[in-house]
Amino acid sequence: MKKTTLSFLLLLAFLVTPMTAGTLFTATDEKDNVTDLNVDVFLEDVAQGLRVTLTLNPSSDGNIGDITGLYLNYDGSIPASGAISNVTSNDANADAGDITYTVGGSMPPYSAFDMYFQIGGPGKNAAGLDVQMISFIVASTPGLSAADFTGVGVRVQSVGAPTSSRDGSLKLVSWVPSVPNENTEVPEPTAFVLFGSGLACLALCKARRR
């Protein structure tokens, strides 16, 4: 296979695959500042509604935790209810029934939030879910726009080293997007498949030359 063809395949992975725009918040321990453990909250507009993705980034000393709640502030009409679907998580037991949406939510000492999603419960110590990454879609009327979120709060329980009793807890917040909606673009999963195929072809070509 010619080098130009391989280059074309790699470029095609990102040019022909749809891109989705979203808003990224990174929730940190703003109040106590005792840990650098944080949670990325990525909000993106999709055909079915709003996709919410939470990813816990362990602390520099290796502590992890269980994501049990997401609080959101929204500059728009707050839906009275929301249907949850398309749930994926590091915990294979997580499903739509483990996520409950309510209007409003409190995470003292911070002011009340506009929206709250309860996610399972403390998994490590309560034989429930143990979530370090979860993604789901919210369908609501009125619909939600990723660009209109103005702050997030994340409740993390069962915090500690993976082999410890993990009896700590955190309240993480972010009031300003790490990257605003109009500037955040991430390739759809098929882009990575195409990109991987291009790399595989490149490796095969090199092997044949030997």
CA distance 210 to 141: 60
Same domain for 136 and 201, yes or no, is no
Query: Within this chain, do residues 4 and 73 fall inside the same structural domain, yes or no?
Result: no
Q: Say yes or no: 209 and 174 in one domain.
A: no
Answer yes or no: do 82 and 134 share one domain. yes
Clarify whether residues 98 and 167 are in a common domain: yes
Same domain, 105 and 154: yes
Note down the domain range covering 35: 25-187
- Residue 67's pLDDT is 96
pLDDT < 50: residue spans in the chain: 2-3, 6-19, 183-200, 202-204, 206-207
- pLDDT tens track for 97-128: 999 999 999 999 998 999 999 998 777 655 58
Q: Answer yes or no: do 164 and 198 share one domain.
A: no
Q: In whole angstroms, what is the distance from residue 56 CA to residue 120 CA?
A: 15
**Residue 187 confidence (pLDDT):** 44
pLDDT confidence of residue 190: 43
Which residues partner with 60 through β-bridges? none
pLDDT for 20 equals 57
Same domain, 195 and 106: no
Cβ distance 39 to 57 under 8 Å? yes
132 shares its domain with 104: yes
Whether residues 38 and 142 share a domain: the answer is yes
User: Are both 158 and 100 inside the same structural domain?
Assistant: yes
Identify the pLDDT of residue 143: 95
Q: How far is CA 203 from CA 23, 101, 189, 195, 208, in A?
A: 36, 47, 21, 13, 9
40 and 10 within one domain:
no
pLDDT of 182: 55
Domain total in the chain: 2
Maximum CA pair distance of the chain? 65
